[in-house]
Amino acid sequence: MFTSINPATGAEIATHLELTDADVEARLAAADAAYRRWRTTRVEERVALLTSLADAYAANADRLAEMATLEMGKTVASARAEVAKCVAGFRHYATHGPAMIAPRTLAVATGAAEIRWLPLGPVLAVMPWNFPYWQVVRFLAPTLLAGNVGLLKHASNVQGVAGLMVEMMAVAGAPDGLFQNLAIPSRGVAAVIADRRVAAVTLTGSEGAGAAVAEIAGHHLKKVVLELGGSDPFVVMPSADLDAAVAAAVTARIQNSGQSCICGKRMIVHTDIHDAFLARFTSAMAAVTTGDPLDAATAMGPLSSVGARDTVVGQLAAATAQGATLTGGVVLPGPGAFMSAGVLSGIPAGSPILHEEIFGPVAMVLRAADVDHAIAIANDSPFGLGSSVWTTDAAEQAAFIAGIDAGMTAINQVLASIPDAPFGGVKRSGHGRELGPWGLHEFMNLKSVLRAG
């Protein structure tokens, strides 16, 4: 049994039954049967379904957004934006996807050759709660276009969202078995990965979850894509517009109550502007108001659970005990999992917090002497997901792009995922890519067809 708890009030929303072994077997059989049919469909039929899904999400946007807000606490404004992003994602693959999988001819010495992208089979997605629609759609839209089918193991606290996503498939007229939610605990994932009918696995989540899934997938020789944690550097140099950089840093850090892998988490600021940035940034973070996430005017809602908030509070306590200065970042009174936005500064070298991910609305501010020092600080992390760099100097931009060990770098803007560009990281942030043609091709069979000339 899974219970959804409203993190803003602590009240129970609903309970959801856990699937039995027989239920899981029935869904795997349905996925296999659906794949046998769907893999033979024309691309035009797949495009029509993606378009219908986009229409269904758009028509039900308010209902979908409210469920995400109730179950995991994001503001309703950000939940609506997330649903809109899903609509854009479906439409992107409906519009541009067919060209991504069109056969291509190669000139080879032995005659004619052709490459074709073919479906692979049912894909299992193990997904977290922080962007409960978009992170699923990132896998689902290309999966359906490829001719594969989807199996979702969603986080236990967003089973209401998972149910609505299954419902949207029915609204869009999808064939039975094309996309199913597996309401199972984490301990049940290994058996699903091992099942011969599951072709591949994609996971967004923690390092621990990623390592466990990768080990099981590797044992069974199955392709896996991992999008794991991040402690993204947000670098600010003297040529940057300081006011714009401060405003963007606040947006980056408090979005989704700081519960985003690609939030700017470590603000690395050149020494010439460090003090001015710290003063303005600290003031701006202190001005962030929290409140009812269903109120469209609320800037920041609660964290996803009291337990998640307590984890952040424990990290901050350890950092301050080691000599760091914390401004804000405190538990707020009343029901729910609320805390204020905060800033950690003066962090002593060697503090463990420098190599951890803070999954809450608290930023670290660090001082850099020059470009090389900023790059060294940025890379002094086990993570390598994204990065954001604020400078108008072209040479500095080039140095950061080449030097920062990350899968993504945004220049003078807050990093965000978009359907067109590859999304993913290096080091302990995972491997493989989502979105764009690269994400589509991750779970397809690239077949070479060689013909005698």
Q: Please choose, from the candidates 107, 109, 119, the residue with its C-alpha nearest in 3D space to the C-alpha of residue 43.
A: 119
Residue with tokens 């962090």: 347
Which top CATH class is 2-228+429-452? Answer: alpha beta
* 232-419: CATH class: alpha beta
Instruction: Pick the catalytic residue from 227, 356, 396, 442.
Output: 227
Token pair recorded at residue 79: 């939940």
Q: How many CA atoms lie within 13 A of 85 on its CB side?
A: 21
The answer to whether 227 is a known catalytic residue is yes
Residue with tokens 């220049």: 411
> In the chain, where are the structural domains located?
2-228+429-452, 232-419
Helix boundaries (H) for 255-291: 271-286
CA 166 and chain centroid, separation: 20
Distance of CA 133 to CAs 90, 141, 335, Å? 12, 12, 26
pLDDT per residue over 345-383, tens digit each? Answer: 999 999 999 999 999 999 999 999 999 999 999 999 999
Give strand ranges (E) for 185-321: 200-204, 223-227, 232-236, 264-270
DSSP string, 322-384: TT-EEEE--BPSSSSS-B--EEEESPPTT-GGGGS---SSEEEEEEESSHHHHHHHHHSSSEE
Q: Which amino acid is at 83?
A: V
Catalytic status, residue 86: no
Q: Tell me how many degrees the CA angle 238-418-210 measures, rounded to the nearest 5.
A: 95
Strand partners, 290: 300
Yes or no: say if 78 and 129 are a contact pair by the CB < 8 Å rule: no
Residue 83, pLDDT > 90, answer yes
Candidates 71, 86, 261, 356; catalytic one: 261
Each residue's pLDDT tens digit, 131-178:
999 999 999 999 999 999 999 999 999 999 999 999 999 999 999 999
pTM of the model: 0.96
Give me the chain's average pLDDT, please: 97
> 């947006």: which residue's tokens?
251
What is residue 453's predicted lDDT score, i.e. its pLDDT? 60
